[in-house]
Structure 1
């Protein structure tokens, strides 16, 4: 039986010709348990098969508790309508990258629906560690989405879900034939939690303007759904979002909302 490192090495080998060093941009290839570039930069795989490709560790950010709670909520089905909308956009047997993947749950759920090669990239090491532990079918990288370890036009679909973006880099790795899909929250997204915390409704107008400046021919798909929160996921709903961070200690996590609103706008880089 192959180890996770052997499995991941084989996956990276399948991307031969598509990999480059994120530091020097030279061509790179997979060796047993590592990615090595022509200039000698070497990125060893950790025990679970994930790669660390940051020049220095990222500071701050999300913690293990938030990632674990988010993972359970996603697996329970809250984002199911979004995954259903994304499924037909994904290629069979192509390369899908989730830039800013967190703990990787969206990419994992999409991989359950369709067969593709997938890479999740995030600068949060705890998130990538959880992703690698949860799924061995995909490749996971602690890295910088502004400098991804992929050649020009290597990616068929790039996902950017509720995460900061780097449109210049996204354009580089997808080229004219690839598709960039950015998910941003609509005004009613998690409105039940906002009501509990007193947070104002979120506007994604500025983010959308930035996207369509980068992709003038882009389009929008808007979806909304209500989700009945299972009692065993109530505390997770309260822990999975930064909306509650500054209110911890003041909120009773066992008395969270029994219903949650999904309101998402999918920004597509080109019409389909």
Structure 2
């Protein structure tokens, strides 16, 4: 008998129910009837038909819709981001049993790739506030835990995760340090000046976009053993990839239809990927 995606995901949640805490009252949770997570104070959260759970108590509107996540999936499954993920996997490999949280997982492709390529027993948990992204993730990548959740109120117990990934997503460092086990690894991917520079030249007309924030210093405020790795490469744009790439990147949001059409008509043979990976170790508990 072939299990449904909902049942596959429910089984993973059931085995890892001790990870969860109620987003309303912070109580422990358990899986009931393989269909809902319920806390000890009887707050109940049903699994969707695809097997994700919505643990964001209040509805949130985001600017990320189904078509955007569809475009992102097309780009990411082409191998566009593999060089970055390879560097991430190389760093976190060898931890043995690993519980990995992707905070801001979008449509789930990054987490799925990391879990698939790591050796040993790995449990992947992906959260995002955009319901459309989590819906796509649960449908496409069964066997992982997917939840609509707020980074400011992560629905998990303290000291549960071996690794937290934060790729092209906002961070909540107070929550990340709470969730990571002592000695756990934090990984943040930050775009650098060369990232998608071919599109920047069109949409920003070569005007430099400055960001005064220092992400390495920010991570160092919360984590120890800080290290960085710069990952730069070019990726050939096969037929059909330029349009979804333009659609998925915030670089183009708010651009005029004429500017988008100009970009679509530009023969861009390859695109530049340029990231700094920041690694930090969660501070060990003291006395």
The Cα shift of 1:204 comes to 6.9
Q: How many residues align?
A: 271
How far 1:3 moved relative to its partner? 1.9
Report the TM-score, using the length of structure 2 for normalisation: 0.89
**Which residue in 1 is equivalent to 2:184?**
178
**1:80 counterpart = 2:88:** no
* CA–CA distance in structure 2, aligned partners of residues 71 and 220 of structure 1: 27
Quote the residue 1:227 is aligned against: 235
1:153 matched residue in structure 2: 159
Structure 1 runs not aligned, ≥5 long: none
Aligned: 1:129 with 2:131? no
CA distance in 2, matches of 1:258, 1:130: 29
* 8 Å contact kept, 1:75–1:109: no
Closer, same or farther in 2 for the Cα pair 1:105/1:202, shift >3 Å?
farther
Q: In structure 1, which of residues 233, 236, 240 is the aligned counterpart of residue 244 of structure 2?
A: 236
Aligned to 2:30: 29
1:143 and 2:146 equivalent? no
Kept after mapping to 2: 8 A contact 1:184/1:204: no
Q: 2 CA distance for matches of 1:261 and 1:203?
A: 19
Residue in 1 aligned with 2:173? 167
The TM-score normalised by the length of structure 1 is 0.93
Q: 2:18 & 2:54 partners in 1: Cα distance? A: 20
1:255 aligns with 265
Structure 2 gap segments, 5+ residues each: 283-287
Equivalent residue for 1:268?
A: 279
Q: Could you say which residue in structure 2 is the equivalent of 1:59?
A: 61
Alignment deviations for residues 207-226 of structure 1 (CA, whole Å, 9 cap, x no partner): 33222212253111111111
When residues 228 and 176 of structure 1 are mapped into structure 2, their CA distance, relative to the original with a 3 A threshold, is same
- In the alignment, what sits opposite 2:222? 214
The CA RMSD over aligned residues, in Å, is 1.8
